Structure 1
Amino acid sequence: MTRTRVSSAVMTHPVRLVQAQDLAGRLGLDRLAVDPDPQGPPSALRTALVAWSAAGPAASHHLVVQDDVDAPAELLEIVAESASRFPDEALVFYTNWHARNGGAARLAALAGASWVRAVPDEFTPSLAVCLPVATAAAFRSYAQGSAERHDDELFSVFFREHGRMGLLAVPNIVEHIGTSSINGHAAQGIRLAVCPTSAADAGPLLAHGRVLEEPGWIPYMRYGEGFIRLEGQERGADGGRGHHHWREALPATGLTEESIDAARAAHLPEELAARVADTFGRSFAEELWTHCLLLGRQAAHAARGLGPAPGGVPGAAVGRMRRSAIATAGPAGLPPERRPEAGPDEVRAMAALAQSAVRAGENLPGQPSDI
């Protein structure tokens, strides 16, 4: 069996060089990959090609992180152990708390899974990715000469064409820092990990935890509204990039508006909803609760297909992972311009409201239909 050896690089731009040097020094990362044309049009892919060409000669895998992240000292150890467990997989160690992959990771956390297969109709989060060196070389060859400037978008095209998306680490030990963006994402506002987790918990979760390959339909929130990513959506005329509001998508889930309305009438905690509504409005409070109701329903369904909990994973760590994923649901679902208003009290209120909805959703009747 080939021994796992992980080399590493930090993608950076001269304006963040000191930040990148500090990150590499703290984490023991091998080298910096600096934008070769810093005066040119913004392009993450241009720098990514430098980073993915920096694999060590004896490496079996190569890790690339971006310069605007933080991570614990155990990062390389955890990445190497994960690569040993999944030697042929593309492994993603940070997932944004919003959009479809964030929804998939949050659903997996609630189901008790430590890894989830990324969806094929969205960008692959690229803040911290580990590839087998052969895959890294193939991606470089594929990307050379591409007009695409977003490496995360091209990753997904590459993985789709090769028939297998990456695996998302559900407990996130890598966190995004800051809100600036060299590549034009600043309008998205505060962007954080979907399930921030300590290295002590993430180590056993990622080494031994279950993998959710087929989450089914996936609830997610964006700009204050709840949506559902449907199974097979990527086969649509638009490549699956469209968004289906949960009401529009319900017929494909086996659920009905009547069942949702009945659950809300029976289980919505009015005092908690009022606390959230005081800051963010009644419409958002109800949309968040419904979104988490659907998450709880689908997570319970996914959990039944995962089988018994594996050995080596402390139950307390799974519980903390679940609570972490629930705690980010509210802030992630806010419009970007409202996220700075989510202080500690507001986050606690949203988390309590979300938790009540997840519990109600776990008992929601109805089975997903075939798409």
Structure 2
Amino acid sequence: MTDVRISSAVMTHPRRLPRARELAAVLGLDSVVVDPDPDGPPSALRTARAAWAAVTPGATHHLVLQDDVAAPASLRELVRRSVQRHPADALAFYASWNTRNGAAVRLAALVGAGWVRGVPEEFTPAQAVCLPVAMAEEFRRYARGSADRHDDEVLSAYLRRTGRMSLIAVPNPVEHMDTDSICGFDWHGVRRSACPLQEPGIAAALETGWVLERPGGLPYMRRGEGHARVEGPDGVIGTRGHARWPTALPYLGCSEEQVNRLVRDLRPADVAAAVGRAFGHHFADELWIHCLLLGRQAARLTRSSPVRRHPTAGRLDRRIRDAAVATLGVSSLLPEARKSVRPDQAELLETYVRSGLRCGRAWPDEASHTVPRLGGEAQDA
């Protein structure tokens, strides 16, 4: 598709209207859409339906942003180029750092992909989404009869019906800001991007980057513990895909004995002890095992995929990877603990995370009782 015309809107509530107007002015967006019933029960879906209706005549695609985000001034051009590459897909330009979609973005960053398909069992990150106009109208009709107030959950339900979840940008050019939640989500704590990067060069990465459609086993952290989304013979294992890592190991092609051996023999004891003192020893164990499994999955995908790095590979590719790795440790903490992490503790967590990823990358793909040796490319986390 060459004739792409994108209209755009910011959805907001009257108490955040100045912020929304400022965002629209900075990004050159077409309209600001205010909650049509601001005194009614809080409902993001109510405002989203109005925002998805605010399509400029002649537009082929419509971009909707929430008011509590930050984005580069070049966002519209970045979206336009992304739409030219993926004209029929729902495109999301943010993923929260403590979600399965955020974990999918990290895995994609580790293997050099420019996009990753969203997780079907999870809400679609709705902070910045672009839909084809026909899809936007279909979604509005679908949402009209919903009693749900969460636009992200209803958008996922709609996309599941179409059989194609959103494509999520890797890296995320849109960042979530620390503001009060209109719909009462403050208990989620700080909700930042899984892979935040806003430099101009990422447009080429998104325009040409390959798509990670099916990551296979997807390790992720949830409530301070390691999980994995895996598929067995009868579908996704666990409730809504949540399976603790010991349960998931047979589907990841490894054993708990192997994991325990690697933890015992390769985990840096001094760093593990420091993380344990700061955040709890159970959390330290779970985080390192998660990183071990994530690194292993990244190595397996790198070996098996016929597609390699996008054409902007090199320093930008490393910055994308570094951005994803830097958010992993803090985001894995419980919500109430994230906001009090000191810079030195964040640095400690990143060092710890990188050690687990390196060991996972060096882990042989086949079942083996041999402890892997680190070296060469395996050092690149």
Taking structure 2 as the reference length, the TM-score comes to 0.92
Query: Distance in 2 between the 1:311 and 1:189 partners?
Result: 34
Q: What pairs with 1:154-303 in structure 2 (closer than 5 Å)?
A: 154-231=154-231, 235=235, 240-241=239-240, 243-303=242-302
Query: Distance in 2 between the 1:183 and 1:163 partners?
Result: 28
Residue pair 1:179, 1:191 contacting (<8 A) in 2 also: no
Q: What pairs with 1:94-113 in structure 2 (closer than 5 Å)?
A: 94-113=94-113
Residue pair 2:302, 2:308 contacting (<8 A) in 1 also: no
Residue pair 1:212, 1:306 contacting (<8 A) in 2 also: no
Deviation at 1:2, TM superposition (A): 4.7
Show CA shifts across 1:85-130 (max 9, x none).
1010100000000121111111111111110000110100000000
Which sections of structure 1, spanning at least 5 residues, go unmatched?
A: none
Number of corresponding residues: 367
Determine the structure 2 residue equivalent to 1:349: 348
Residue pair 2:2, 2:84 contacting (<8 A) in 1 also: no
Q: What residue identity is the alignment partner of 2:170? A: V
Determine the structure 1 residue equivalent to 2:373: none
Give the SS at the match of 2:10: strand
* C-alpha distance 86-234 of structure 1, shift in aligned 2 (>3 A): farther
Deviation at 1:145, TM superposition (A): 2.1
Identical positions, percent = 51
Q: What residue identity is the alignment partner of 1:21? A: R
Q: Which deviates the most, 177-186 or 322-331?
A: 177-186
Q: What residue identity is the alignment partner of 1:84? A: Q
Deviation at 1:183, TM superposition (A): 1.3
Residue pair 1:101, 1:119 contacting (<8 A) in 2 also: yes
Structure 1 residue 135 corresponds to structure 2 residue 135: yes
Q: What residue identity is the alignment partner of 2:324? A: A
Q: What residue identity is the alignment partner of 2:74? A: E
Show CA shifts across 1:173-197 (max 9, x none).
1000014211121110000000011
Give the SS at the match of 2:62: strand
RMSD: 1.8
Q: Which deviates the most, 9-18 or 279-288?
A: 279-288
Query: Distance in 2 between the 1:124 and 1:359 partners?
Result: 30
Query: Distance in 1 between the 2:209 and 2:241 partners?
Result: 32
Q: What residue identity is the alignment partner of 2:164? A: R
Deviation at 1:366, TM superposition (A): 4.1
Give the SS at the match of 2:63: strand
Q: What residue identity is the alignment partner of 1:297? A: R
Deviation at 1:45, TM superposition (A): 0.5
Show CA shifts across 1:184-233 (max 9, x none).
21110000000011332321211111210010011111221111111369
Residue pair 1:210, 1:306 contacting (<8 A) in 2 also: no
Residue pair 1:218, 1:229 contacting (<8 A) in 2 also: yes
Show CA shifts across 1:270-297 (max 9, x none).
2222222231122211211110111001
Query: Distance in 1 between the 2:137 and 2:2 partners?
Result: 18
Q: Which deviates the most, 6-15 or 203-212?
A: 203-212
Show CA shifts across 1:225-270 (max 9, x none).
11111136994698x5252111122122211011111111222112
* C-alpha distance 237-171 of structure 1, shift in aligned 2 (>3 A): closer
Q: Which deviates the most, 43-52 or 356-365?
A: 356-365
Q: What residue identity is the alignment partner of 2:227? A: F
Give the SS at the match of 1:199: coil
